[in-house]
Amino acid sequence: MPALDTLLPDIALDPTELIDALFSASGNYLVITDPITGLIVAISDAWLSILEYERDEVVGRTSEELNIWLHPDQRLEMIRRIKTDKIVSRFHTCLRGKSGVLHDFSVTIQAITISSKSYILFTGYDITEELQVKNSVVTSRKILIDALEAMSEGFVLYGQDGRLIICNSKFKEFYGYGDEEVSVGTPGRRLGELDMERGTVLLKDSDHENYILRRDDMEKGPPKSIVVQLKDGRYLLLSDRVTDEGNIVSIQKDITDLKTTEIALVQAKDEADIANNTKSEFLAHMSHELRTPLNSILGFTQVMRDELLGELGHPKYREYINDVHHSGAHLLNLINDVLDISKVEAGEFVLNEDTLDLKDTISACLQIIRGKQDVAALNIIVENSEGNIYLKGDERIIRQIILNLLSNSVKFTKAEGKITLSLTKDDTNGITLSISDTGCGIEEDDISHVLAPFGQARTNARTAHEGTGLGLSLSKMLTELHDGILNIYSQVGVGTTVTLKFAPERTVEDSEVL
């Protein structure tokens, strides 16, 4: 650099005064020192402000005296280099202020000449905030990487161009990628191709292209989630999302345990269905096999009971024949119920539907019930709405349902008790039939149990009666075949109400009845 005084015009201006004026007015960080003594000759206001010194505290003293340099050896290295290089640029150092506060600076030094005397000029700029931002970015990135590495899921981020930006180790481990294969800038499509080439992901041949190109249509966006199976047997749930910036975030979650449980449940259900179908077929077959000889037994015992071919002789014979006939009839009813349940469960039950006058059907059922010996002491009440109520259904089956429910009420209601049968239409034109009794009632926890085949309430008052536990479950199944719902409301010691609700589509209007 040429001598400063040679640059000045021939005017009455002292170079030292000029330097002081420039240093005072300048916003730059400037210092001039004596290369031999190290004394500070001039310093700009910017330096004084940031280091918190007054000018007279600094000028005429050395940086060593002021303890400004955090690492004094850096200054000595710069002085040594200036002797050969003439200029040392952008030397990062840390300077200490009067209060001890540290500041990071990028310093450049060079040799200058003023009035034929050599000096060293230090110029610099404060990079403290710049380094803080840089360090913050580095720290944030490290925190991000640590967080990604701590994830149990695989993570990968692709840019708008479909190229990889960052991924974690779990992602690499799932697919067996090497570090070079998942370097920044790798096309996501290439990773899909590697999965297919190596057989890492098990897919049908027809699905290969869709798997590789699934993230290419940015307008449509990637599929929200898909499940893939790896060649080692694990299952991954892949969830992709497009960010506001147009990047794609993909999470790979190991759902092997969940998928294994799901498969096991499906297999168990299939096995249960097979076992149930086998049971139903067996029961249906056995019911047919038993019903034929039983009908013969009932026919012969009826002939003997009625003495169609002559007197039996001893009076005990008539008593025995009545018992055999009664037991046979009970067994036949049981077999018929088992056969009906088997048909319903197998989906082979066929309804012979017609238009039924439910009031007539109920009257016929009540006539049968009232003919039994144990009904005489009971008060049976019928509450019907005005007008006829017609239902589209199978008359034999509807009678069977009503008789089953009435028989249950009779069985579990003590003498002088009351049974109420109600038939109404609701606001939606659906038909509701309810049968209430003042019997022993059912525990709330037992209701679901009694609706299952062969299920019976555990209350002593109920288990004291004979029965197979098929009546309610069969009635429920047959009601559902008619698009109806069977509900039970019961309270121990108060009684039970069974309600049948049929869909409005099952109601037949008077105008439709011929």
Average pLDDT in the chain: 81
Architecture of domain 4-129: 2-Layer Sandwich (3.30)
Nearest to 172 by CA among 187, 209, 234, 180: 180
Residues in the chain: 514
Provide the terminal-to-terminal Cα distance of the chain, rounded to the nearest Å: 122
| pLDDT value for 18 | 65
CA distance 426 to 385: 11
Distance of CA 29 to the CA centre of its chain: 62
Q: What is the pLDDT of residue 275?
A: 77
List the CATH code of the domain at 265-345.
Answer: 1.10.287
Output the pLDDT for position 76.
83
Per-residue confidence (pLDDT) for residue 27, from 0 to 100: 62
Residue 463, pLDDT score? 44
Express each pLDDT in 391-402 by its tens digit. Answer: 999 888 898 888
CATH homologous superfamily for 354-512? Answer: Histidine kinase-like ATPase, C-terminal domain (3.30.565.10)
Per cent of the chain over pLDDT 90 is 15
- Select the more confidently predicted residue: 378 or 285: 378
**477-495: average pLDDT:** 90
Tell me how far apart the alpha carbons of residues 124 and 106 are, in angstroms, rounded to a whole number.
5
Which pLDDT does position 177 carry in this prediction?
92
Please indicate, yes or no, whether the overall pTM of this predicted structure exceeds 0.85.
no
Give span(s): CATH 3.30.450.20, the chain.
4-129, 151-254
Task: Extract the runs of DSSP E, i.e. beta strands, from 141-187.
Answer: 154-158, 164-167
Give 362 or 312, the one with higher predicted confidence: 362
Q: Is the pLDDT confidence value at 124 over 60? A: yes
What is the DSSP annotation of 209-259? HHHHHTTT-TTT---SEEEEEETTS-EEEEEEEE-TTS-EEEEEEE-HHHH
CA 48 to each of CA 18, 109, 161, 225, 346: distance values in angstroms, whole numbers, following the listed order = 19, 18, 51, 62, 97
- d(C-alpha 28, C-alpha 474), whole Å: 98
Q: Residue 3: pLDDT above 90? A: no
Which residues is 436 bridged to in the sheet?
420, 497
Angle formed at CA 41 by CA 39 and CA 46, multiple of 5 degrees: 115
In whole angstroms, give the CA distance from residue 116 to residue 351: 123
Could you tell me the pLDDT band of residue 137, with boundaries at 50, 70 and 90? confident
Least confident of 114-123, 167-176, 335-344: 335-344
Distance CA 366, CA 351 (A): 23
151-254 is classed CATH 3.30.450.20? yes
Q: Which of 16-25, 349-358, 453-462 has the lowest mean pLDDT?
A: 453-462
pLDDT digit string, tens, across residues 213-236 = 877 765 566 666 888 899 999 999
Which residues make up the CATH 1.10.287 domain(s) of the chain? 265-345
State which amino acid sits at residue 108: T
pLDDT tens for each residue of 175-211? 999 999 999 999 988 999 999 999 999 888 778 888 8
Encode 264-306 in three state secondary structure: HHHHHHHHHHHHHHHHHHHHHHHHHHHHHHHHHHHHHHHHHHC
Please tell me the least confidently modeled range out of 248-262, 433-447, 465-479.
465-479
List of residues 6+ apart from 65 with CB closer than 8 A: none
24-28-34 Cα angle (round to 5): 70
What is the rounded radius of gyration, in angstroms, for the C-alpha atoms of the chain?
Answer: 49
**For the chain, where do the domains classified as CATH 3.30.565.10 start and end?**
354-512
The secondary structure of 65-119 as a DSSP string is HHT-BSSHHHHHHHHHHHHHHSEEEEEEEEEE-TTS-EEEEEEEEEEEEETTEEE
- Cα 211 from chain centre: 24
> Could you read off the pLDDT of 285-309 as tens digits, one per residue?
666 667 667 777 777 777 777 777 7
User: Looking at the predicted structure, is the pLDDT value of residue 1 above 60?
Assistant: no
User: What residues does 390 pair with on adjacent strands?
Assistant: 357, 508
